Chain A
Amino acid sequence: MKKLIVITLLLILGFYLISTFSSTPFGAEKVSGVKDFYLKQSPETLKVSNVVTAIVVSFRGFDTLGEVTVLFLASTALGSILYRRRTKHSGLNPQREAVISSSLVRTGAKVLFPMIILLGAYVFVHGHLTPGGGFQGGAIIATGFLLILISYRKFFINHNVLTWVEAIAGTTFVLIGIGGLIYATQNNFLENFLPEGTLNKLMSGGVVSIIYIAVGFKVGAEITGILDTLLTIKEAGLDPDEN
């Protein structure tokens, strides 16, 4: 009975959505004031080739600050939900120490790990020239750390190092924004105040590449912290923190 009501409501919703969206055909020319402004300003004034990077970092950079805050809140909330007290057997985790991985897995992970880190760093340093950027590069770096965490039993990540990397990267972002408030021509937050350079070279765009490098470090450190917290959960029966 409940399933019939739900299916009826979903069909009504789907009918209204499809009738709204099929009034303009796929690929037709739509209202284009904002798009033309960004596509004209980005290679001429700001000299950044990747228009999506210019929108995410410079034209709508405040939203990126909000998103980095949301990821930080998610990582903190996860750490506080899965909290365990540090008792004297807090280094023992029966799930991770159950099976030794074979030497094929261990050797392969040891060889692949620097290449994955290099690929991630390449993606977020060249974020303003080719598709890529801070979020993609940070996720690739976190995948490299995940490979090592799965293959080696005794690889522990020091959470203090992760906290310091996140803090320094986040502070760099906000300080560059405040620098725009003081030094830029129109005194706006997150406005460009460094010289722009030429189009399609590595040194172009002013503060855009520096902000994206800081975002790449921060996102990589946060996702690594999330994965490390999830991988070191105790089993239900052995938890010393029962409430």
Chain B
Amino acid sequence: MGIGSIIFLIGALLFILIAAIYAIIQKDLIHAVIASSLISLALSLVFYILQAPDVALTEAAIGIALSTIIFIITIRNTKRYENE
């Protein structure tokens, strides 16, 4: 891998870790779900750099839109804020 790809890979992995910690700390559940969808977006780019285009397409198609929308429909039918 060239030096540009390595820098992009390490930057994307750092972004995934920060978004994961934000998703489990935040009390507003809608913000946590949006962070989870950002994890899927950056993960799809990491899969592309690791030379796996099929897996990148699948993660982008399923993780970004569909997983987020079923979480939001569930939050709408229950409570929005995590108590205590």
Contacts and interface: CB of A to CB of B under 8 A. Distances in A.
A213 interface: no
A128 to B, nearest CB: 11
Contacts of B57: 123, 131-132, 136
A133 interface: yes
Interface residues of A, number: 23
**Interface SS of chain B:** helix
A73 B54 CA distance: 25
Interface string A206-240: 00000000000000000100110011010110000
B21 interface: no
Interface stretch (A3-11, A12-20, A139-147): A139-147
B76 A132 contact: no
Contact of B65 (A95, A146, A231, A235): A146
Contacts of B70: 226-227, 230
Nearest to B78: A236
Contacts of A142: 66
Interface string B28-65: 00000000000000000000000001101110011001
A227 B69 contact: yes
B77 interface: yes
Contacts of B66: 139, 142-143, 146, 223, 227
Contacts of B56: 131
Interface string A52-79: 1100000000000000000000000000
Nearest to B57: A136
Nearest to A150: B69
B73 A135 contact: no
A76 B70 CA distance: 16
Contacts of B65: 143, 146
Contacts of B73: 230-231, 233
A204 interface: no
A50 interface: yes
A190 B53 CA distance: 26
Contacts of B62: 135, 139
Given A95-B76, A227-B69, A233-B77, A139 B61 contact: yes
Contacts of A227: 66, 69-70
A71 to B, nearest CB: 11
Given A140-B61, A223-B66, A50 B54 contact: yes
25 contacts: A53-B54, A95-B76, A123-B57, A131-B54, A131-B57, A133-B54, A135-B58, A135-B61, A135-B62, A136-B54, A136-B57, A136-B58, A136-B61, A139-B66, A142-B66, A143-B61, A143-B65, A143-B66, A146-B69, A226-B70, A227-B70, A230-B73, A233-B73, A233-B77, A235-B77
Given A50-B54, A139-B58, A146-B66, 12 more contacts: A53-B54, A131-B56, A132-B54, A133-B54, A135-B58, A136-B61, A139-B62, A142-B66, A143-B61, A143-B66, A146-B65, A233-B77
